[in-house]
Amino acid sequence: MVEKKIEIKGVNPAEFFGINNVKFNHIKSFFPQLKISSRGNVVNYSGDIAQLGIFEDKVNLIIQYLKKFNSMTENNIDNLMDKEGKSILEEKDGDDVIVHGNSGIKVRARTLNQKKLVKAVYKNDMVFAVGPAGTGKTYTAVALAVRALKEKEVKRIILTRPAVEAGENLGFLPGDMKEKLDPYMMPLYDALRDMIPPEKLKDMIEFGVIEIAPLAFMRGRTLDKAFVILDEAQNATKMQMKMFLTRMGMSAKFIVTGDMSQVDLPRHQQSGLSYVIDLLKDTDGLEIIRLNQMDVIRHPLVKRIIDAFEKADDKDKAAKQNEKKDNK
């Protein structure tokens, strides 16, 4: 077994190790096969020589990152540990800003897959963003739409989603269509409120510059010169997905977001999102971006919860496959 050490110098050690070694322990979690410890500013590590080389490269990458940005979060560590982590250092400060929001807020693509989503939208007219809750799919999509509107690349923003979720039909809810739909549209409203001043947002909605409507209202329309976002697309049927995707006008941008772990359709009904992703995966002119727990930017517990659910789902799938084999 090879033993080595590396001194953390040229950066603030507190940023590398974190309070109570929280960040250092997070770094260690990516290398379970190595024995890693610290004494003062020196990191000691031992184990397989190939793994030692990878660990050294990542520690040096983190040091370079801290020299450039002076601070680091656990989410930054996740991105740096990715195989494309080095690309983060090649970006100039401000390159990842999508749009400037209210009170000087800089809305950024904060993870590698969010950055891939931004690049995909700049390059393609139709993009699918699929991943679990908290990965910033909807927020990033809305930021891209607001940016396109501010830059006069489109004349309006259209935000839509399936109207039936969690077994509740809108027809049984009180109020007019807007009042019925608003509770389901809160993630979209929340994102818009971060990026557009309240009075201006109210006027934009009133005059149709920003339209928020249920998916059924897209039928029969041609959506042109618009940035269109279909949110929660995992709850759309195959026919609804076909209807929506064929509404695309000549000068439109479409983003479809969804989380395949949160399908609220009846059990016998296949999600239209999973169907079209498989159907269109090799189609030119569109791109599919898959986000995962590494992109979660909510509380650190959310990542662990998602990971636990994914492991449980994998066990269920394996059990069902074994059951099928036994029945043959």
Those residues whose C-beta lies under 8 Å from the C-beta of residue 183, and which sit 6 or more positions away, are none
Phi-psi region of 45 (alpha: psi -120 to 50; beta: other; left: phi over 0): beta
What pLDDT shows up at residue 251? 92
Which H helix or E strand runs over 191? Answer: helix 186-195
> Which residues on neighbouring strands pair with residue 104, listed in sequence order?
none
pLDDT tens profile 24-52 = 999 999 999 999 999 999 999 999 888 89
Which H helix or E strand runs over 249? Answer: none
In whole angstroms, give the CA distance from residue 106 to residue 102. Answer: 9
What pLDDT shows up at residue 34? 92
pLDDT level of residue 99 (50, 70, 90 thresholds): confident
Which is more confidently placed, 78 or 302? 78
Which is more confidently placed, 169 or 127? 127
pLDDT tens profile 191-234 = 999 999 888 999 999 999 999 888 888 989 999 999 999 999 99
Those residues whose C-beta lies under 8 Å from the C-beta of residue 210, and which sit 6 or more positions away, are 156, 157, 158, 159, 192, 201, 204
In whole angstroms, give the CA distance from residue 170 to residue 176. Answer: 10
Classify residue 274 by burial, with Cβ atoms within 10 Å: 0-12, 13-18, 19+: middle
Domains of the chain from N-terminus onward: 2-90 (3.30.1370.10), 97-297 (3.40.50.300)
Q: What is the pTM of this model?
A: 0.69
In whole angstroms, give the CA distance from residue 130 to residue 234. Answer: 9
- For residue 80, the one-letter residue type is L
- For 83, the token pair is 């195989």
What pLDDT shows up at residue 283? 93
Phi-psi region of 119 (alpha: psi -120 to 50; beta: other; left: phi over 0): alpha
pLDDT level of residue 167 (50, 70, 90 thresholds): very low
- For 114, the token pair is 């969010």
Most confident range, picked from 1-15, 18-32, 171-185: 18-32
Q: What is the DSSP letter of 156?
A: E
Mean pLDDT along residues 139-159: 94
Those residues whose C-beta lies under 8 Å from the C-beta of residue 206, and which sit 6 or more positions away, are none
- Estimate to the nearest angstrom the gap between the alpha carbon of 131 and the chain centroid: 6
pLDDT tens profile 276-297 = 999 999 999 999 999 988 787 7
The answer to whether residue 69 scores a pLDDT higher than 80 is: no
- For residue 35, the one-letter residue type is K
Sheet with 210-214: list strands edge to edge: 210-214, 156-161, 226-230, 253-258, 126-130, 286-290
